[in-house]
A and B are shown apart, each in its own frame.
Chain A
């Protein structure tokens, strides 16, 4: 049972344009969401997070939007840069459901074309 889903396994974007990565979840007890970036043979690197009490969080070129009613979140990267090319995982956790355990999505491979 995949509680966190990233339905797009890959995404290709032109440098300078916006990258939008999507994530859906099914567990309504999740209350904290995170995005990680991962290169091959490396551990995930934390990018940005959002609590369920917010609907938007921004950090430089990265913005995460949360739509609780739709159980959907998205990561916007603007402007996209070639160095952003990696696999992006969304993750979720909820104190009342799984405590500090993170549930990961399946990942989206982003390729930014120069």
Chain B
């Protein structure tokens, strides 16, 4: 399968600080990037969709000013959680969608803990 990396894999931050999560597709170009989060024992919930070079589209209930997404290139996207609060603690997973192909692959995820 395709190789997708996420960094960091795990981060602990204090309430009120910002955290940036990077997602890279290592062996393919991703025109579209999906960002998901998963709370314990729940399903993966789509947060936002971004296309390279354009603004992200956010799902209902997701604050665009709090979760900043940058998709500056076909191999890199970042998610910045601004002014993080304990309720933002979750498992964040990126999913780059390849320019060609129909399968969707996922990054290994980032565990964010806000204290």
Contact = CB atoms under 8 A, between A and B. Distances in A.
Interface of A: 32, 34, 36, 41-46, 49, 89, 100-107
B54 interface: no
Given A102-B34, A104-B44, A106-B43, A44 B106 contact: yes
Interface of B: 1, 4, 6, 32, 34, 42-46, 49, 91, 93, 95, 97, 102-109, 111
A43 B107 contact: yes
10 contacts: A43-B93, A43-B108, A46-B103, A49-B103, A100-B34, A100-B97, A102-B95, A104-B45, A106-B43, A107-B43
B1 A43 contact: no
A41 B107 CA distance: 11
